[in-house]
Structure 1
Amino acid sequence: MRLFFQKHTGIIIAAAILLAWGSVLWFLLHWQVSFWSPLTYLAVLVMTHLYTGLFITAHDAMHGVVAPGNKKLNTIIGTITAGLFAFNYYGRLYPKHHLHHRHVATDQDPDYHGGNFFLWFFNFARQYITIIQMILMGAAYNLLQLWFPKENIILFWMVPAILATFQLFYFGTYLPHRGEHEPDNRHKSSTQGRNHLWAFISCYFFGYHYEHHDKPYLPWWKLYQEKDRLVKDR
């Protein structure tokens, strides 16, 4: 059993995130919303975190580390998790993300913009949000209204996807790549201070961003180990 888990850890973790996202969303779509209850806003944050997990899983699939050795399954998982995150298209994300790794913080990097936070986010969103996505989101919203209350759909399906987009951008793109980097920083990436709990909550350890660029073959759930290694070696 232990050997099986070690061999298929990426798939098991991806399945757990998918199951958690789907089951929590299903529960919340049926939940009686009270705007006076702090639990409502806590639920929004939980869904935001799970949405971020979907995208991080799709991201790991782009690096082939969700199902190593099984390219087809890896692509299927990446396509599903990207699609569930506001109908992102894995086939479009894949080449852009690898351009980011090859040309980090240059004019050829689709994730990079030298402007302020808002201009950078606008440029980032323009790279990834498409008209087709907006149409699909609108169609899905209208379909969901046939079964679930509008406020539940907005609070637990739409708002978390928007918040997770900001979360991914802020912790996984803007903070690591903003400003000037030392000439010997070949990845042009900074990294969060060592705090594994905050690193997980904020963006599934992707605040350890230099570590990711240095070893893109590590899945998100091993980045904290690389952080520990680098801190220990200093």
Structure 2
Amino acid sequence: MAGKRRKDYRGVVIAAVIVALWAGLLAYLLQWPASFASPMTYLFVLLQTHLYTGLFITAHDAMHGVVAPGRPKLNKAIGTTTAFLFAYNWYPRLLPRHHQHHRHVATDADPDYHSGAFWPWYFSFLKQYITWWQLLLMAITFNALKLFFPLENVVLFWMLPAILATFQLFYFGTYLPHRGEHPEDNPHKSGTQAKNHVWAFVSCYFFGYHYEHHDKPYLPWWQLHKTKS
């Protein structure tokens, strides 16, 4: 219809690519003859970690309604799916906490914030986002997978990347941008990485450009680099 905005499917396509790459690579690696002497083993761990992080970043974008803009049911479905694939996170539980973070950034009311050293903050972050039922489901899945695949493959390519991705998300998306004091003219109490689009993508899907995200939360991760001056 004339005058009607054209639907933007780019976010949906990008989300589908991330899920397909994560699932496809995991299926391949669970059967791949892993060797601790091969550098490919470590490269695959890092690649699968990056794809795990991509699952959560996609769920995060869904929390801002930008995976499938204008289609709330599809947006929620994608967010729920990608959050669940990332260590059984529950999207309806994550959604209000993330918006609370944006409303009360770097204050006592911010669930992501902890006034302290790195490790206490990291464990506080984990306690906010990991529940006992998630750990139970992870344990069940781990024991089921090792019935069909080599134990070292399950650990290296399913369990370890999930742990490393949690660390990646915390370090680049929470700790670095929100640590320390921020000047009064910084309304988002957020720092940002130096401009380097390659490193910004590799480190955490451009979320090192964190001030920019808080300033323009309506932008999906793959457009954040455009705001970096």
TM bucket normalised to smaller? over 0.9
Rounded Cα–Cα distance in structure 1 between residues aligned with 2:131 and 2:157 = 22
User: Contact 2:8/2:69 (CA < 8 Å) preserved in 1?
Assistant: no
Which of the pair is proportionally richer in helix? 1
User: Contact 2:53/2:204 (CA < 8 Å) preserved in 1?
Assistant: yes
Report the RMSD for the aligned CA atoms in angstroms: 1.0
1:82 maps onto 2:83 in alignment: yes
CA deviations over 1:186-229 (Å, ceiling 9, x no partner)? 000010000000000000000000000000000000000011xx
**Any residues of structure 2 matched to 1:1-234 within 5 Å, and which?**
7-227=8-228, 231=229
User: Contact 2:8/2:68 (CA < 8 Å) preserved in 1?
Assistant: no
Rounded Cα–Cα distance in structure 1 between residues aligned with 2:7 and 2:74 = 17
Rounded Cα–Cα distance in structure 1 between residues aligned with 2:206 and 2:146 = 35
Rounded Cα–Cα distance in structure 2 between residues aligned with 1:11 and 1:23 = 18
User: Contact 2:101/2:112 (CA < 8 Å) preserved in 1?
Assistant: yes
The Cα of 1:143 is off from its aligned counterpart by: 1.1
TM-score, normalization: structure 2? 0.96
Secondary structure of 2:24's partner?
helix
CA deviations over 1:162-190 (Å, ceiling 9, x no partner)? 00000000000000000000101000001
Rounded Cα–Cα distance in structure 2 between residues aligned with 1:106 and 1:136 = 32
What letter matches 2:99 in structure 1? H
Identity of aligned residues (%): 67
Q: Which runs of 5+ in 1 are unaligned?
A: none
What letter matches 2:49 in structure 1? T
Runs of 4+, deviation exceeding 4 Å = none
Rounded Cα–Cα distance in structure 2 between residues aligned with 1:186 and 1:138 = 42
The Cα of 1:98 is off from its aligned counterpart by: 0.3
The Cα of 1:142 is off from its aligned counterpart by: 1.0
Rounded Cα–Cα distance in structure 1 between residues aligned with 2:146 and 2:93 = 29
Rounded Cα–Cα distance in structure 1 between residues aligned with 2:58 and 2:91 = 11
Aligned residues between the structures: 224
CA deviations over 1:104-138 (Å, ceiling 9, x no partner)? 00000000001000010011111011100000000
Secondary structure of 1:210's partner?
helix
TM-score, normalization: structure 1? 0.94
Secondary structure of 1:106's partner?
coil
The Cα of 1:6 is off from its aligned counterpart by: 7.5
Rounded Cα–Cα distance in structure 2 between residues aligned with 1:29 and 1:222 = 33
Rounded Cα–Cα distance in structure 2 between residues aligned with 1:145 and 1:124 = 29
The Cα of 1:146 is off from its aligned counterpart by: 2.1
